Amino acid sequence: MKSKRLFGAVALIVVGIVFGAVLVSGFGLVRPGLADVKIGASNPPVNLDADATSFSKSFIEVADKVTPQIVQIEVVSERDNSKNPHSDLFFFPFKDMPKEEKGSGSGIIISPDGYIVTNNHVVENATKVTVGLSDRRTFDAKVIGTDPLTDLAVIKVDANNLPAAYLGDSDALKVGQWVMAIGNPLSLSSTVTAGIVSAKGRGHLGLIKDLYGVEDFIQTDAAINPGNSGGALVDLSGAVVGINSAIASSGTGTYIGYGFAIPINLVKSVVKDLIAHGKVTRGYIGVQISEVNDAIAKSIGLDKPKGVMIQGLVSGGSAESAGIKEGDVILKIDGREVNQSNELQSYIAGKTAGTKVNLTIYRDGEEIEKTVTLKAKEDNKSVQPVVDKNNSDKNNDSKMATASFDDIGLTVKNMQSDEKSEFNVKNGVLITGVKPYSDAADQRLGPNLVIVEANKKKIDNVRELKEAFKSKKGSAVLLKVVDNKGNSVFVGLNIPEDFK
């Protein structure tokens, strides 16, 4: 009897030990307390050094300091129903569309008493503008002035002690430099993105549909989306270096890699004029210009492609009055080198009428200085080619009435009197064909253009043109070409060494 009791006690002890082991090992039956849960590794894979920590801190501090200086702008504007294809159908159910639409953008506080800079396209045709601050206060705003040629505008709210942004120096900006875009994209307030300056001086984007429009953008890969317009592009000191204005979207309407900002140095000059006068009293040189490519440089004796070439002059404009001629190349303005059309446009856009600028001009192998007094633009003035009306109509009856220059891809013919009348010229040869992928095609020459000059000498027939080509073998010839609308352009054309 005693042995049975002893056996039972031992069995109970064994069962207890086994059950305890089960409890300790878990088997999923008993979970540990919250304080006992251990997840993740004990240490980060990389210990940041002081430089890396400081770099990250720069972004954090800029976002913290600059975000309150950026506002959200809500706009009610007049809807343009002129393109409605059904507007003349009285039975169309949506004929009576709303006359107003709503949009949004961003802005930068530039003074403690409520002046704010934004894009012109944000507040264009606005009937009501509302500004929202980062502290959730809202104000009605008044449009002070707009400048469509630079896509800038100034608005004002009735407030004081606002956090004004520091406006930096966009000329000192370097490609590859870190920047941050701060704004309100896609109605997401106070959004910060980062990237680098991808390029400077971007132009020819077709964003401003005006002959005198200024496109001199900072390109960045910091994400910019609809609603970012008018917001700030800042460097890592928190200085505003540009105003975000446009995106490259390939028709999607959203960011796919690059955005564009207006340089702050241009912004500062425009904004001062808008605040003082409500408009920009801008001065103009009165020229049509283009960049100098390698062929043009060779044709006029420049050691390398540089400067911008004057293609046309405004009659009675500043440049013509200063003795500047078509075919001149502007190398510098006020001592600053200019190698792109938009560099010159951007610099002049910050100058008012009456301002004098000094131009360094390349003409006939020499550099000369010209002082130009900028004039206000007259709307009825336009750039016109200079056509010599007094040149006698020479007889073009020549043994060589047509010619094909296969090695440069160009076919030309002598002109008849009625053709000269059509093009409003007294001399020249007509281009009748251009070979695809040839040097002539690369320079955008095409049929129904007239070559009136070669190497700045008038051309009356095909023979004279061929002699001009021969004189530039192994180099390039400078051609002046006119279309049937009276527009003229200088073109450089490479002539092979073995030209015959």
Structure tokens at 461: 């027939």
CA distances from 112 to 101, 103, 143, 206 (A): 31, 26, 17, 35
Angle between helices 341-349 and 264-277 (to 10 degrees): 30
Residue 453's DSSP bridge partners are 458, 480
User: Beta strands 476-482 and 457-458: pairing type?
Assistant: unpaired
d(CA 202, CA 261): 10
d(CA 355, CA 303): 32
d(CA 411, CA 243): 49
Instruction: Classify the phi-psi angles of 63: left when phi > 0, otherwise alpha if psi is within -120 to 50, otherwise beta.
Output: alpha
Report whether 467 contacts 455 (CB < 8 A).
no
- Choosing from 106, 147, 151, 460, the catalytic residue is 151
277 tagged catalytic: no
3-state secondary structure at position 477: strand
d(CA 475, CA 497): 8
Report whether 480 contacts 464 (CB < 8 A).
no
Residue 284's DSSP bridge partners are 375
121 tagged catalytic: yes
State the DSSP H helix or E strand holding residue 228, giving kind and residue range, or none if neither.
none
86 tagged catalytic: no
Q: Please count the other Cβ atoms lying within 10 Å of the Cβ belonging to residue 200.
A: 18
Q: What is the largest CA-CA distance in the chain?
A: 147
- Choosing from 104, 198, 229, 341, the catalytic residue is 229
d(CA 38, CA 34): 9
d(CA 155, CA 444): 44
Q: Which of 103, 145, 99, 141 is nearest to 122 (CA)?
A: 103
Contacts of 321 (CB under 8 A, 6+ apart): 372, 373, 375
3-state secondary structure at position 451: strand
d(CA 452, CA 457): 8
H helix intervals, 351-494: 417-423, 439-442, 462-470
Q: Please count the other Cβ atoms lying within 10 Å of the Cβ belonging to residue 408.
A: 22
Q: Measured between alpha carbons, how far apart are the two ends of the chain, in Å? A: 132
- Choosing from 104, 106, 121, 346, the catalytic residue is 121
DSSP conformational letter for 282: B
Report whether 324 contacts 372 (CB < 8 A).
yes
Residue type, 21: A
> What residues are labeled active site?
121, 151, 229
